[in-house]
């Protein structure tokens, strides 16, 4: 009988690769926009305003508060002006999602701090979401980007279905890079890659972001993951490993695009905060307060919370 003569664990010769993580990350709370845009029960305007104020009190520094899309398409956000005017004086950065120039002008008038300019990487999703092809959206996005820079409004560009499209399937890295290149050449300095239908995997995220950040080291890249296949947190970690320290997340795991069939909500803010805390990565957001806000919000909406941390802590009364 052969004996094991070498135990790499016992003699200390087995080594694990050191994972270098950032000391802190920035969480952009998108629940008031991405989370509420697609809920069956519309949250009343005063409760939206209270939600945003509570998020600020919990330590959130950047919030995507609403979207200036036509109310016919997103009726849940028809109160965009009223919400934005009520929260515009809070000491944080309030972003609004902007689909076109009409929306931009409305947002500017309402006093936004920043705009999220949105377009899709694929024609299939862009035609459904914005009623034009990707080439036309690149042109429109560049126009609005220049306008925001002139108006001294903060701007981030959000690329939907960057990791996979519900209508065209796989997305290739070179397709994403070509769009990024054009936008960076025209002044974009902050860009988000969105896994709108939750199909990204950690290896893909890590490899793609290493390539993209190497090509454009001066651009602030952020990541936006949906949790359709349960890979949201794993993808966030892959982003951390590749040097990303800005992430979108949504309270209670709310979210979903009307033009992304079967996609679930965003990765839950509470879950991201808890994972960061356990890894020693600072967010400067109070997790206990966020859990309290989640409980209040979902009592209003009368739907289930899609946050593992919330479910565990509620069951154990922690």
Residue 106: count other Cβ atoms within 10 Å of its Cβ.
Answer: 18
Closest CA to 51 of 73, 78, 30: 30
For residue 219, give both structure tokens. Answer: 């651009």
For residue 176, give both structure tokens. Answer: 């994403």
Residue 105: count other Cβ atoms within 10 Å of its Cβ.
Answer: 13
CA 318/CA 115 separation, integer angstroms: 37
For residue 164, give both structure tokens. Answer: 């996979």
CA 230/CA 224 separation, integer angstroms: 14
Residue partners of 142: CB distance under 8 A and separation at least 6: 182, 183, 186
CA 251/CA 254 separation, integer angstroms: 6
Instruction: Give me the half-sphere count of Cα atoms (radius 13 Å) on the Cβ side of residue 290.
Output: 27
| Active site annotation includes 257 | yes
CA 207/CA 119 separation, integer angstroms: 23
CA 230/CA 202 separation, integer angstroms: 12
DSSP letter at 31 equals I
Closest CA to 201 of 235, 233, 227, 178: 235
Q: Which of 161, 257, 273, 285 is catalytic?
A: 257
Residue partners of 1: CB distance under 8 A and separation at least 6: none
Catalytic sites, residue numbers: 257
């Amino acid at each position: 009988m052969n004996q094991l003569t070498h135990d790499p664990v016992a003699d200390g010769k087995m080594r694990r690769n050191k994972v270098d993580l950032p000391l802190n990350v920035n969480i952009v709370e998108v629940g008031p926009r991405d989370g509420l845009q697609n809920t069956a029960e519309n949250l009343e305007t005063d409760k939206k305003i209270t939600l945003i104020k509570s998020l600020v009190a919990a330590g959130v520094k950047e919030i995507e508060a609403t979207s200036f899309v036509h109310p016919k398409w997103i009726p849940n956000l028809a109160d965009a002006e009223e919400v934005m005017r009520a929260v515009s004086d809070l000491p944080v950065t309030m972003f609004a999602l902007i689909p076109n120039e009409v929306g931009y002008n409305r947002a500017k008038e309402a006093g936004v701090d920043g705009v999220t300019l949105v377009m899709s990487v694929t024609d299939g999703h862009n035609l459904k979401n914005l009623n034009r092809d990707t080439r036309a959206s690149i042109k429109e996005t560049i126009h609005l980007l220049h306008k925001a820079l002139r108006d001294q409004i903060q701007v981030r560009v959000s690329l939907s279905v960057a990791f996979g499209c519900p209508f065209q399937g796989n997305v290739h890295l070179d397709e994403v890079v070509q769009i990024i290149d054009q936008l960076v050449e025209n002044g974009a300095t902050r860009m988000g890659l969105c896994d709108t239908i939750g199909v990204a995997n950690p290896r893909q995220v890590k490899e793609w972001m290493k390539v993209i950040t190497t090509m454009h080291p001066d651009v602030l890249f952020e990541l936006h993951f949906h949790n359709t296949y349960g890979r949201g947190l794993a993808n966030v970690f892959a982003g951390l490993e590749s040097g990303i320290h800005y992430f979108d997340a949504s309270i209670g795991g709310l979210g979903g695009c009307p033009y992304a069939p079967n996609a679930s909500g965003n990765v839950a803010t509470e879950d991201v905060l808890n994972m960061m805390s356990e890894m020693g990565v600072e967010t400067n957001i109070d997790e206990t307060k966020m859990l309290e806000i989640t409980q209040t919000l979902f009592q209003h909406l009368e739907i289930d919370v899609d946050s593992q941390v919330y479910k565990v802590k509620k069951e154990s009364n922690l």
